């Protein structure tokens, strides 16, 4: 079930993600991504993508926000907004990292103007995901 957030909270998440995208370091792809991850207590963590000449060392905006939140002790999340110029979705690695903590996370995709293009659950974007519960089976 997708979490219900007031439209003002969704707008705040979108604005935070857009601001984060402006900080992206993208000298190679020129593809800015911003993310805003909301915890169940309402705290918001922004993140941007940071590229590196050694491409595997690049980190996505979604993982930046997630790592910031986890490093501050957060473990429960209800929504993430991801913004790009054309409504790109989180990559597979980001989906897996987010799934670790919140399989039913609400994922809102918007463009850099703030237009919402998609609103889905993470479990729909990563069907049959592998999470902590799989290790106990």
The domains found in the chain, sorted by start residue, are: 7-136 (3.40.140.10)
Instruction: Give the helix/strand (H/E) hosting 13.
Output: helix 7-21
| 62 labelled catalytic | yes
The gap from C-alpha 97 to its chain's centroid, in whole angstroms, comes to 10
| Among 62, 72, 78, 134, the one annotated catalytic | 62
Q: Is the pLDDT of residue 1 over 60?
A: no
Residue among 47, 52, 6 nearest 26 (CA):
52
The answer to whether 73 and 44 are in contact (CB under 8 A) is no
pLDDT mean over 108-123: 97
Instruction: Walk across the sheet containing 34-39 and list its strands.
Output: 44-48, 34-39, 77-84, 106-111, 116-121
Residue among 56, 53, 47, 120 nearest 93 (CA):
56
pLDDT level of residue 6 (50, 70, 90 thresholds): confident
pLDDT mean over 98-118: 97
pLDDT at 136: 86
């Amino acid at each position: 079930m997708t979490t219900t957030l007031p439209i003002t909270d969704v707008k705040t998440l979108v604005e935070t993600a857009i601001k984060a995208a402006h900080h992206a370091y993208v000298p190679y792809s020129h593809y800015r991504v911003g993310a805003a991850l909301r915890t169940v207590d309402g705290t918001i963590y922004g993140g941007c993508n940071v590229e590196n000449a050694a491409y595997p060392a690049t980190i996505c905006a979604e993982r930046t926000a997630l790592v910031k939140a986890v490093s501050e002790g957060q473990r429960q999340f209800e929504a993430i907004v991801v913004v790009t110029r054309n409504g790109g979705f989180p990559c597979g690695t980001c989906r897996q990292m987010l799934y670790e903590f919140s399989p039913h996370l609400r994922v809102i995709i918007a463009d850099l103007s703030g237009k919402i293009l998609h609103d889905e659950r993470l479990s729909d974007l990563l069907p049959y995901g592998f999470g902590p519960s799989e290790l106990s089976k």
